[in-house]
């Protein structure tokens, strides 16, 4: 049986562009959350740092994540985000089951 | 009413010392999870990187986190961890409520 996939993604926007990240997420979130296998898709603001965010994703399987990555809305979002992001997001993939 | 506190903590051990981090966490986790106000205290391995971890903490309030930070078991753990960690953990504090 396939394992869930857990991602923690660190995002930094260009100075003063955090609002663009939030707006993009607000458009995207309901679409992504409706995708098959999406268990969690939450963007958190880093406290007191308006240009830093952590996106937490959880998918039911590798296949669900792979399908998500090539959806038209993600292709479009990936093309748009460099305009307001300071650099590529840092994607940290975690073993889904916590230790201990 | 006080807000919950949500932390994502990036940990890197010295090369080959990931096992020490896991052992330390296994000793600490049941004690921390029993502290007042501890809502989550989970260590995840970064997939395929035996020396990298992400600790996810959620506390009911700032006061609960502040009390946790000065417990004898945390003081002891903080003194022991530099022996096996590559550097200080990177603590990212998140606004507890996700955006959108």
Size of interface A-B (CB pairs under 8 A): 73
- Asked whether the predicted pLDDT for residue A1 surpasses 70, the reply is no
Looking at residue A45, which CATH number applies to its domain? 3.30.70.100
Residues A23-58 as b/e (b if ≥16 CB within 10 A, e otherwise) read: ebbeebbeebeebebbeebbbbbbeeeebbbbbbbb
Print the domain residue range for B33.
1-9+19-55+77-85
Q: Do A45 and B10 touch (CB under 8 A)?
A: no
Please provide the average confidence, as pLDDT, over all residues in chain B. 96
- B54 → chain A, closest CA residue: A94
B70 assigned to some structural domain: no
A96 assigned to some structural domain: no
Q: For residue range B69-98, list pLDDT tens digits in order.
A: 999 999 999 999 999 999 999 999 999 899
In the structure, what pLDDT confidence band is assigned to residue B32 with cuts at 50, 70 and 90?
very high
pLDDT for res B16: 98
Contacts (Cβ under 8 Å, ≥6 apart) of B62: B2, B3, B5
pLDDT for res A30: 97
| Residues in chain A closer than 8 A to B93 (CB atoms) | 46-48
Count of domains for chain A: 1
A90 assigned to some structural domain: no
A47 assigned to some structural domain: yes
pLDDT for res A90: 98
- Asked whether the predicted pLDDT for residue B2 surpasses 80, the reply is no
Please provide the average confidence, as pLDDT, over all residues in chain A. 96
In the structure, what pLDDT confidence band is assigned to residue A2 with cuts at 50, 70 and 90?
confident
A32 assigned to some structural domain: yes
- Asked whether the predicted pLDDT for residue A39 surpasses 90, the reply is yes
B62 assigned to some structural domain: no
- Asked whether the predicted pLDDT for residue B44 surpasses 70, the reply is yes
Is the complex ipTM higher than 0.95? no
B23 assigned to some structural domain: yes
């Amino acid at each position: 049986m396939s394992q869930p996939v857990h991602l923690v993604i660190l995002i930094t926007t260009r100075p003063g562009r955090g609002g663009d990240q939030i707006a993009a997420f607000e458009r995207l979130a309901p679409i992504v959350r409706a995708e098959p296998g999406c268990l969690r898709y939450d963007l958190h603001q880093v406290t007191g740092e308006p240009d830093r965010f952590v996106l937490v994703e959880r998918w039911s399987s590798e296949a669900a994540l792979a399908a998500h990555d090539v959806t038209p809305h993600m292709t479009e979002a990936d093309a748009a985000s460099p305009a307001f992001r300071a650099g590529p997001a840092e994607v940290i993939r975690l073993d889904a089951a916590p230790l201990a």
